[in-house]
Copies of this chain bind each other. A is one copy, B any other.
Amino acid sequence: MLRFEMLATEGLARRGRLTLNHGVVETPVFMPVGTYGTVKGVTPASLDEMGAQIILGNTFHLWMRPGVDVVRQFGGLHRFEAWGKPILSDSGGFQVWSLGAMRRISEEGVKFASPVNGDKLFLTPELSMQIQTVLNSDVVMQFDECTPYQTKGHITTEGEARASMELSLRWAARCKTEFARLANPNALFGIVQGGMYEPLREASIDALVAMDLPGYAVGGVSVGEPKEEMLRITAHTPHRLPADKPRYLMGVGTPEDLVEAVAVGVDMFDCVLPTRNARNGHLFTRFGDLRIRNARYKTDERPIDESCGCYTCKHFSRAYLHHLDRCAEMLAPMLTTVHNLHYYLNLMREVREALDAGRFAALRARFLAERGRGV
């Protein structure tokens, strides 16, 4: 099930409430990525404390390990990973696409060799729906082909992008049929493709809207294109999607990307940036980014971000985090992950509060100015 209520708007920006089988999600929302059934480096208790409302799981990875049988035995991903709130699963399409030369795409699906044990595997729209039904994720993504920015060394042509987008549409129809056949009680999202070509994006939207799916995603961005191209497509597509359905921008992005995408009508985000960057000592703060490995922090008694209320900032100094990082102590990525995720989740909380109060434009301006100030 999925219910989406629109609580407020400001320009194209939307403040919504999404009700899913495992709970309510206030939007705009950032969804931490839990590839293998764990958001890297944090416990579910800690995610809960930070205010995470919904997390991701990766169908491809969970299919490889622990495998469908184990998740089925637990009645789905929620009990297996001890997370009671909503989960969104991707379709596996992006991961098989990322295998590059190791996979072969046909009308039927994608053939590839398991990166875990070399087994020959064949992922189809139907199989993706079957696996996601076992996961029992609240939001199921259609199996799609992620149109690359470059194809065989040249920028993907309009013809190539059209063929790819049309294949994704046929796969969307097969997903919808299989999802219904499986009587999956959750919500299936379609994914807009079309590369960097606005007319193709619009054709993709039209066809997907005709399928009347409960939500839509913008795919095929952050696939190697220049930043301006990414912003162009992000600005083009979301507001053309049905106003009464949630809109999810896949795999984006920096804090600035999120705020700008909210301004053009996006409701949902996921990205590995906060968790991956945390493990590399790259920290997000209200006043810009901070590289904790820099020697200047060796004796810095201040928290990462004096305005931050996370566990890390309430208790630990930059000097201590710098020390932990130098010693390769596990506590370093644990504490920096808490901070970065808290930063993203709190930013979206501030965005929601601003939308509630009709002052999103002011927040957006202040956010950009503060981020530019520097730590």
Contact = CB atoms under 8 A, between A and B. Distances in A.
Interface residues of A, number: 38
A330 B333 contact: yes
Given A326-B65, A327-B36, A320 B41 contact: no
B66 A331 contact: no
Interface string A30-43: 00000011101111
A324 B38 contact: yes
Interface stretch (A1-9, A12-20, A73-81): A73-81
B43 A335 contact: yes
A45 B311 contact: yes
Nearest to A312: B43
B330 A66 contact: no
Contacts of A323: 36-37, 65-66, 70, 80
B45 A319 contact: no
Nearest to A315: B82
Interface string A131-156: 00000000000000000000000000
A334 B330 contact: yes
Output the residue of A66, A73, A322 with the most chain B CB within 10 A: A66
A364 interface: no
Contacts of A331: 38, 40-43
Contacts of A353: none
Given A43-B311, A320-B81, A331-B40, A298 B70 contact: yes
A43 B43 CA distance: 12
A329 interface: yes
Interface in A75-114: 80-82
A212 interface: no
A354 to B, nearest CB: 31
Given A82-B315, A330-B334, A320 B43 contact: no
Given A43-B334, A334-B43, A298 B66 contact: yes
A80 B315 contact: no
A301 interface: yes
A329 B38 contact: yes
A330 B41 contact: yes
A299 interface: yes
Interface in A292-339: 298-299, 301, 311, 315-317, 319-320, 322-324, 326-327, 329-331, 333-335
Contacts of A185: none
A288 interface: no
Given A298-B70, A334-B330, A334-B334, A44 B315 contact: yes
Given A70-B299, A70-B323, 17 more contacts: A36-B327, A37-B324, A38-B329, A40-B331, A42-B331, A45-B311, A65-B323, A66-B319, A66-B323, A66-B326, A73-B299, A74-B301, A74-B317, A80-B323, A330-B330, A330-B333, A334-B334
Interface of A: 36-38, 40-45, 65-66, 69-70, 73-74, 80-82, 298-299, 301, 311, 315-317, 319-320, 322-324, 326-327, 329-331, 333-335
10 smallest A-B Cβ distances: which pairs? A66-B323, A82-B315, A38-B331, A36-B327, A41-B330, A38-B329, A65-B327, A82-B316, A40-B330, A80-B320
14 contacts: A37-B324, A38-B329, A40-B329, A40-B330, A44-B315, A45-B311, A65-B323, A65-B326, A69-B299, A70-B319, A73-B319, A74-B319, A80-B320, A80-B323
